[in-house]
Structure 1
Amino acid sequence: MEFRQVQYFICLFEEGTVTRAAHRLNIVQPALSMQIAKLEDEVGQQLFERTKQGMVPTAAARQMYRLFLPIMRDFTHARTQLMSTDGEISGHVNIGLIASITEGVLAETLTAFSIKYPNVDVRVADGYSATLSDWVAGGQIDAAIINKPRRQLALNVEHIVDEEMVLITSAGYAAALPQRLTLRQISSLGLTLVLPTREHGLRGIIDSFAQHEDVDLAPKFEIDSLVTTVKLVEQTQLATILPHIAVHRGLTEGRLRAHSIVSPRLIRQVVAVSHPRRPLNSATSAFIAMLTEQMRMRTKTQDATEVA
């Protein structure tokens, strides 16, 4: 089994057709087909079913992809670091972020990062904390920024920031709500809530605090899309509970209003996770550092606003 064959296999697996894979590899289609055929002969199993829609991976191909993808990523990272000269960072970032981070600081981070490191390509995937952790463990992504899980992970976990979650209403909300509320008050005031579903990491944090206080928040709507949730809150008399960073823009522009939750304060811990046997390349470490700086700046701004 040659390195080139594995590289061709992974590309064909991801692209789904010989045409797209050959174009991505910058080779002719017969050369790709020949190497895949040789690889199938060597492993003694069919890796793809040839259909009119493209190359459909078999169970053997899916297993091979899971096994070889982390190895290929390690090779790419090692080559990138060896080829770096004069301390200049280049290469690729392949990272996962929970939605509240992508909504809060991703655009600003990407803008600053591309200016400082023009030779780095960045790929960002979003998803639930549990899903992103699984992708890191399986080698699909190199690192992820997630809500700290309650269960122990077989991954490196680095603390990023502690952030308060707040009650959010529209700026024109008719009811006169106090600036500070307890979780029990939120339940007793009869607010119509929209919260993430129970599969969402933020909902798990909210529910854990509510259960500790023996409070039933009973949302009317359960929606995982933060964009949709924020739009609903802006345009209606609904309220939600979200991290400050996820609604920073709406608060700054005066479209939303934040009410602090006290007794207890709802704190979520944001962490970076990576695989213990796959060290991060310089580009990914630099991107996480810049993202962390952006998040901590937002948190300091929030704290200063509350004090004022």
Structure 2
Amino acid sequence: MELRQLVAAVTVADVGSVSNAARRLHLAQPALTRRIQALEKDLGVSIFDRTPSGMRPTATGEAFLARARLILRDAERARVEAGHGAGEVAGQVSVGLLASISELLGPDLAEAVRSAHPAVRLRVDIGYSGHVRQWLEAGAVDVAVLYELGDRPGIHSDPLVRERLVVAGPADSVLAQQDQVDIAALPGPFVLPAQEHALRILVDEAFAAAGATARVALETNTVDMQKTLAHRALGWTVLPASCIAQDVASGRLASAEIHPPVERTLVIAHTALHPSRAVTTVADALREVVERVIGRGAWPSAQLIDGRTRR
């Protein structure tokens, strides 16, 4: 198996046909076809279905191509690092951030990396915890800040911060007169993320502990939609305090801490298999950014957790 065969297969999958892939790779079509055939012979399986509309990966091919993309990414990183020598950190690093903290951490991280390591090309992907976890496990992001993972093979995670969750609603709601609220006592309805996401799991567990069930009127996987619907009195929502601080300060929303307290624990995580210098450098920069943001009071609801303990 050769890297050029992997490049051929990934390119065919990306563009959907051998002819288009050959043009992209500046190869003769028969030469590209031979590379795909040699790869399939080496693997002992077909990775593409040949259809009248083009080349479509088989189920086995999809799994192989996902791995091939990671191999090509790592090979490119090795090339870039070798080209810059031992003294300079270089390469592309993909970071996954929760939507609730992306504005807090993303700009500071970009600034820190560009200032200290200009040869590092940063990509930031934003989503709910379930999305970020999937990206991390699939190798689509290199390092991430997300809800506590538990023990997961191939993932190294360190505890980072602990933060209380709050209930939010319209500025003129009962929450405006309360510092704390029994979440199970609120009549509902609620606007919450889908059930596979960690925030929803925490909310469901809080209701279960009170012997109740949340009456959910709508599920959404965007923080902005949660806040907008709460503002319009279409349902209570639950979010980290940091996520709605500006909305509360501007009078758009009111909030109250949940009693008994419901907390989220965030970790910084990366794949445990030989992270590149660029990945470890960005992970360290991300930790430092979190410490600075909390230190200057920009994340008052978060409490740093000491220790790097979980593999």
TM-score, normalized by length of structure 1? 0.79
Q: Give CA deviations for 1:58-107 in whole Å, capped at 9, x if unaligned.
A: 23322322443443343333333333346332211123333323355334
Summarize deviations over 1:20-64 as a string: whole Å, max 9, x none: 655665x33625344223323443443223445442112332232
Distance 1:134 1:146 in 2: 11
Letter in 1 for 2:195: R
Aligned equivalent of 1:123: 123
CA distance in 2 between partners of 1:38 and 1:175 (Å)? 69
Q: Select which of 210, 230, 236 maps to 1:213.
A: 210
Cα distance change on mapping 1:257 and 1:83 into 2, 3 Å: farther
Instruction: Name the structure 2 match of 1:273.
Output: 269
Which residue identity lines up with residue 237 of structure 2 in the other structure?
T
CA 1:58–1:167 in structure 2 vs 1: closer, same or farther (change >3 Å)? Answer: same
1:255 to 248, 252, 256: 252
Residue 242 of structure 2 corresponds to residue 245 of structure 1: yes
Shift of the 85–24 alpha-carbon distance from structure 1 to 2, 3 Å rule, reads farther
More moved, 42-51 vs 54-63? 42-51
1:231 is matched with 228
State the Cα distance separating 1:294 from its structure 2 match: 4.1
Measure, in 2, the Cα distance between the counterparts of 1:114 and 1:202.
32
Change (3 A) 1:212 1:72: same
Specify every segment of 5 or more residues in structure 1 that has no aligned partner in the other structure, as ranges. Answer: none
Partner of 1:152: 151
| 1:60 aligned partner | 60
Give CA-to-partner distance per residue, 1:226-260, whole Å, 9 cap, x none: 12111222333643110123334434554333323
- The DSSP-based 3-state class of the residue aligned with 2:101 is helix
| 1:285 maps onto 2:280 in alignment | yes
**Aligned-residue identity in percent:** 27
CA distance in 2 between counterparts of 1:133 and 1:176 reads 33
Letter in 1 for 2:180: L
Report the TM-score when normalising by structure 2. 0.78
Distance 2:139 2:169 in 1: 40
2:177 equivalent in structure 1: 178
> Aligned residue for 2:79?
79
**Unpaired stretches in structure 2, ≥5 consecutive residues:** 303-311
- Seen in structure 2, the aligned counterparts of structure 1 residues 173 and 287 have a Cα distance that, compared at 3 Å, is farther
The DSSP-based 3-state class of the residue aligned with 1:28 is coil
Count matched residues.
298
Q: Is the 8 A contact 2:16 2:56 kept in 1?
A: yes
